[in-house]
Structure 1
Amino acid sequence: MGRMAAGIAGFTMGAWLGLAAPALAAGLTVALQTDATSMDPHVAPTFTTAALQDHIYGSLISLDPELRQVPNLALRWQAVDATRWLVELRPGVTFSDGRAFGAEDVAFSLRRATLVRHAAGTAAPYVKAITGITVLDPLRLELQTETPYPQLPLDLARLRIVSAAVGEQAGTDAFNRGEAAIGTGPYVLRGWTPGEKLELARNPRFWGEAPEWDSVTFRPIASDAARLAALLSGSVDLIDKVPTPDVARLRREPQVAVFAHEGNRTMFLVPDTAREVSPFVTGHDGQPLPANPLRDVRVRRAISLAINRKALVERVLEGEGSVANQAAPVGMFGGSAAIPAAEWQPEAARALLAEAGYPQGFRLALHCSNGRYVADRATCQALAQMLTRIGIAATAEAEPQSVFYTRMSRFDASLLLNGWGSIGDNLVVLRQALHSVDAARGLGGFNRGRYANAELDRLTDAAARTIDDGERSRLQQQAMETAMADVGLVPLYTPAWIWAGRKGLRYTAGFDEGTFATRATAGR
């Protein structure tokens, strides 16, 4: 599916909706599939959490709906030479408590991000490359990197800025309670009850155009059916992650608007390629196998060939997505046009299994989340059936998000369903999801299968040191080609992002997964 402009249609659900929707008031209520992990902006930089935090805190650089870099707290940023960047800040900005914003706050935030510890992850990878910070004056600072690092502006777009005066003594709990949640964003935090609601109010000191809504409430509703029911009943104005089976029907009806855009998250399977014996792989008799078959590239290729990706897109996603042949959308910087299209060849898959020494196949558990990603449970079930047809008797283990996240962090799976959202560039997925684990350098932090490939590492490291865009793109293409030839991950598809709102509401959908109240208008 090519890039889609925001599409708008509507529906009348007669018995469900009953009365016409009332005019939108000064408040906006949004239901999200997932909750924020923390109000500490240096904790858990998932797309959902980051988008919610963006209402409260500013970044030096923002990404627009098409993932283009635009000024936020920084007006200009440029490479002075191969390892030095000059950042010029926006004048006249104040934090929501009235304190002036300046270079010392940026320096503090960059340092703080390296110190925060949290089980859900932190923003530390986005400041890892910075080896020196020099405040030149209240509105200018220089950032030093050890080696050339072209990704720095993109990393800075993922890092939220906090007040040095407030944050110096504040831990994550203080941010979560709200007392330290002081930012430069369009809204201020009124309260956060995890699992229940996040309440925001317009920030009267915001430096930019005042947001449309006086107040915004975000409610986490994990169940797709319950989230849709909340919209239809009028208890919320906007929902994200519209269930794909409902999209076609919703587009035909006049009382709800549907907003869609091609997504930036590619879903893939992550095989355990590190352990000699994998915990959830057995023979058909239930006994552990003496060797981990997933370490054999022929087995990984067989798994890939067993998957009918077109059927996944058409049936599981209801056509709202596109088949993937690599771990990031092809349109992102560094995407390779040389990687062959993903094929569905079950007979060839069975032959590869036999060649690898598994003519009768084996058994394994396929772990996935239930409600974290679009159609994750349905995808998991469909994949288990496809693998079973080639002799890999797979069981789909769909788990609550908290259980699944813990499993991933413990490296407690043999094959799991995961995904990565690319922010206009595939270098981050190469460095974090495919590069071998190197905690000291901040690499491989999301490499859930502990995959390691020396040539991939070499190409990725070289790309991360290359300032010239043409050469960097070539290196990233080669790195992705290397990883896909070795089936370090098994790419599946890229789902579209779909929102739905009540009649009269308009929402600017984008490549990014996050939901922003600032992109919703009353449709005047």
Structure 2
Amino acid sequence: MSFIRRLGVTAVAMAALAGPAMAEDITIGVRSEPSSMDPYYHNLGPNNAIIGHVFARLVDFDPNQQLVPSIAESYKALDDTTWEFKLRPGLKFHDGSDLTVDDVIYSFERADGYTGGNSSFRIYTKGKTLKKVDDLTLHISTEEPYPLMPNDLTTVMIMSSEAKGTGSADTNKGIEASDFNDGTATIGSGPYKFVEWKKGDRIVMEKYDGYVGPFDQTWDKVTFRFIPSEPARVAALLAGDVDMIDNVPTSDIATLEKNKDVSLSDGVSNRVIYLHLDQFREKSPFVTDKEGNPLDKNPLLDPRVRKAISMMINRPAIVERVMEGVALPAGQLLPDGFFGRSPNLKPEKYDVAGAKKLLAEAGYPDGFGLTIHGPNDRYINDAKICEAIGQLLSAAGIPTKVVTMPKNVFFSRASKGADGEPEFSFVLVGWGSGTGEASSPLKSLLATHDPSKGWGASNRGRHSDPKVDALIGQALATVDDEKRGKLLAEATDIAIGQNQGIIPLHYQVNTWGTRKGLTYRARTDERTLAYDLVKAN
């Protein structure tokens, strides 16, 4: 069955979903284990998905990233710079304490001031002033009009201000990540309560009977089993050891489609897989001459070199051979259908001759040496993609070594090395828009790195262009949707089309597999959530 046909089948299945199923236990096999249960430790997909079962947000997304009220039962703009959020009355944390505006303010302050993690949430907290009106009424103000306020509030999870920890009073408000990992501070108001985390094995949660919010509580107990091995994950589903798996290997999709005891759900995500390149160091640690000797000048500083590397990558071949046809070539930050895309940018054409001409113009007619670093357990076929890029660049005259490693090691080193700057020169990473539109990746990946503003939090290549920054800032203060979309598109045109600040490769298509009788509501944000696993009609 073709990919497009499978999407149609999934849509029909979703339309025919039954109502809430009888409560029972469920086990979900997932590829990636979170790095922490602290909701602000790392703005990373696996963390945000699993932790979001325990800690609710003011506003959340449905499977298609449409806004739904969560802790806030309503919200509205009072004027150009002030938003009002009304909390649901009677909300309780899992320990029975009341959830009030004080907890929301505390959570934002802790997220904003968090130290020690990777890829922070500051892009969503900076520039916002929170004011308590009463226990259930919150005003959030900004210096300029900010129409994306509800979207931003889908990112920060709310914890109890009364949670206790073992940290010092001046470090993350006295609570360490370990306090969340062992359950001491893991007190949220989400649909499920934290039970235990056996690292390397499982996280267990149980239904919270006092939950009030937009999501189903079909299951009494949810167990997330960590199965990084792709064959083992598929085998666990086929053996009945788990009820669902995420990240179905692309190589197994055709076989599983023929299995009457398995149901597949899939959809295009908002995640772009892309390459960051060192654009801030005169001497870059993993850029050499073709014999492996250090270079006095970093060629990646030249946009012509970055463009040439992009032209050396055969995206259709990677999609077809590495991704088994289950991906879409990318030319910008978001696929068709998302807000703020540029109408001008298409996937780069594979053109080795043109790339070599650009290299010669930039002063590197004989090429140079590179090392590509990437994770081997975070994105679909991530290590294989790195290998493919290494082979393509090497064949085109840039001999490229390939180094992959577990995501927890990779992200720490890629985000900040010993000197506080990213350690690597050339990395494969991915980004899914947490807000469902283009400002999220623009602010985090391509805006000038500025911790005081929260911009560039995941800008591991340190791309910087004042014109791009100005356009992003203008877009974020523009209420008119059409004008804001054009500004975001223009910023994307400059950052990627002119500067080649990152090299987009492809958009992920995600596939979930369930046992017969269940179906999963495929999500554009890629999250694997217990409340989107339901009984089929």
Which TM-score tier does this pair reach, normalised by the shorter chain? over 0.9
Write out per-residue CA displacement over residues 33-83 of structure 1, whole angstroms, 9 at most, x where no aligned residue: 111122222221212111111211111101110011111111221221222
Moved more, 483-492 or 171-180: 171-180
Report if aligned partners of 1:87, 1:142 keep a CA contact under 8 Å in 2: yes
Cα displacement (A) at 1:134: 1.9
C-alpha change, 1:74 and 1:5, in structure 2 (3 Å) is farther
Report if aligned partners of 1:297, 1:487 keep a CA contact under 8 Å in 2: yes
The total of aligned residue pairs comes to 511
Which of 259, 262, 273 is the equivalent residue of 1:267? Answer: 273
Report if aligned partners of 1:36, 1:194 keep a CA contact under 8 Å in 2: no
C-alpha change, 1:122 and 1:112, in structure 2 (3 Å) is same
User: Secondary structure at the residue paired with 2:357?
Assistant: helix
User: Secondary structure at the residue paired with 2:467?
Assistant: helix
Report if aligned partners of 1:136, 1:142 keep a CA contact under 8 Å in 2: yes
One-letter code aligned to 1:228: V
Cα displacement (A) at 1:4: 3.8
Report if aligned partners of 1:42, 1:124 keep a CA contact under 8 Å in 2: no
Q: Find out whether 1:436 has 2:448 as its counterpart.
A: yes
C-alpha change, 1:327 and 1:449, in structure 2 (3 Å) is same
Partner residue, 1:17? none
Q: CA RMSD in A?
A: 2.2
User: Secondary structure at the residue paired with 1:164?
Assistant: coil
User: Secondary structure at the residue paired with 1:31?
Assistant: strand
Whole-angstrom CA distance in 2 between matches of 1:457 and 1:169: 35
Q: Find out whether 1:202 has 2:207 as its counterpart.
A: yes
Cα displacement (A) at 1:460: 1.2
Q: Find out whether 1:291 has 2:294 as its counterpart.
A: no
Report if aligned partners of 2:75, 2:85 keep a CA contact under 8 Å in 1: yes
Partner residue, 1:149? 146
Write out per-residue CA displacement over residues 65-102 of structure 1, whole angstroms, 9 at most, x where no aligned residue: 00111111112212212221111111232222222222
User: Secondary structure at the residue paired with 2:10?
Assistant: coil
Whole-angstrom CA distance in 2 between matches of 1:388 and 1:169: 50
Whole-angstrom CA distance in 2 between matches of 1:210 and 1:416: 39
Whole-angstrom CA distance in 1 between matches of 2:285 and 2:518: 49
Alignment of 1:336-375 (within 5 A): 336-375=342-381
Partner residue, 1:14? none
Identity %: 38
Q: Find out whether 1:516 has 2:529 as its counterpart.
A: yes
Q: Find out whether 1:490 has 2:503 as its counterpart.
A: yes
Moved more, 477-486 or 115-124: 115-124
Cα displacement (A) at 1:210: 5.5
C-alpha change, 1:359 and 1:366, in structure 2 (3 Å) is same
Report if aligned partners of 2:23, 2:218 keep a CA contact under 8 Å in 1: no
Moved more, 135-144 or 55-64: 135-144
Whole-angstrom CA distance in 2 between matches of 1:288 and 1:513: 40
Report if aligned partners of 2:147, 2:476 keep a CA contact under 8 Å in 1: yes
Partner residue, 1:107? 105
Q: Find out whether 1:7 has 2:5 as its counterpart.
A: no
Whole-angstrom CA distance in 1 between matches of 2:31 and 2:9: 20
Cα displacement (A) at 1:467: 2.2
Report if aligned partners of 1:5, 1:261 keep a CA contact under 8 Å in 2: no
Which of 196, 217, 223 is the equivalent residue of 1:217? Answer: 223
C-alpha change, 1:378 and 1:464, in structure 2 (3 Å) is same
Which of 508, 512, 515 is the equivalent residue of 1:499? Answer: 512
**Scaled by the length of structure 2, what TM-score is found?**
0.91
Whole-angstrom CA distance in 2 between matches of 1:150 and 1:312: 38
Partner residue, 2:424? 413
Partner residue, 1:26? 24
Report if aligned partners of 1:459, 1:476 keep a CA contact under 8 Å in 2: yes
Write out per-residue CA displacement over residues 110-130 of structure 1, whole angstroms, 9 at most, x where no aligned residue: 222223323334433321121
One-letter code aligned to 1:91: P
Q: Find out whether 1:38 has 2:41 as its counterpart.
A: no
User: Secondary structure at the residue paired with 1:266?
Assistant: strand
User: Secondary structure at the residue paired with 1:385?
Assistant: helix
Report if aligned partners of 1:9, 1:250 keep a CA contact under 8 Å in 2: no
Q: Find out whether 1:389 has 2:386 as its counterpart.
A: no
C-alpha change, 1:412 and 1:170, in structure 2 (3 Å) is closer
Whole-angstrom CA distance in 2 between matches of 1:437 and 1:391: 32
Report if aligned partners of 1:162, 1:183 keep a CA contact under 8 Å in 2: yes
**Scaled by the length of structure 1, what TM-score is found?**
0.93
Report if aligned partners of 2:23, 2:220 keep a CA contact under 8 Å in 1: no
Partner residue, 1:471? 483
Whole-angstrom CA distance in 1 between matches of 2:102 and 2:145: 24
C-alpha change, 1:299 and 1:182, in structure 2 (3 Å) is same
Name structure 1 gaps, 5 residues minimum: 11-22
Which of 171, 177, 180 is the equivalent residue of 2:185? Answer: 180
Whole-angstrom CA distance in 1 between matches of 2:472 and 2:160: 35
Whole-angstrom CA distance in 1 between matches of 2:288 and 2:102: 56
User: Secondary structure at the residue paired with 1:310?
Assistant: helix
Alignment of 1:241-260 (within 5 A): 241-260=247-266
User: Secondary structure at the residue paired with 2:269?
Assistant: coil
Report if aligned partners of 1:9, 1:258 keep a CA contact under 8 Å in 2: no
C-alpha change, 1:316 and 1:57, in structure 2 (3 Å) is same
Report if aligned partners of 1:202, 1:211 keep a CA contact under 8 Å in 2: yes
Query: Which aligned runs of 4 or more in structure 1 are off by greater than 6 angstroms?
Result: none
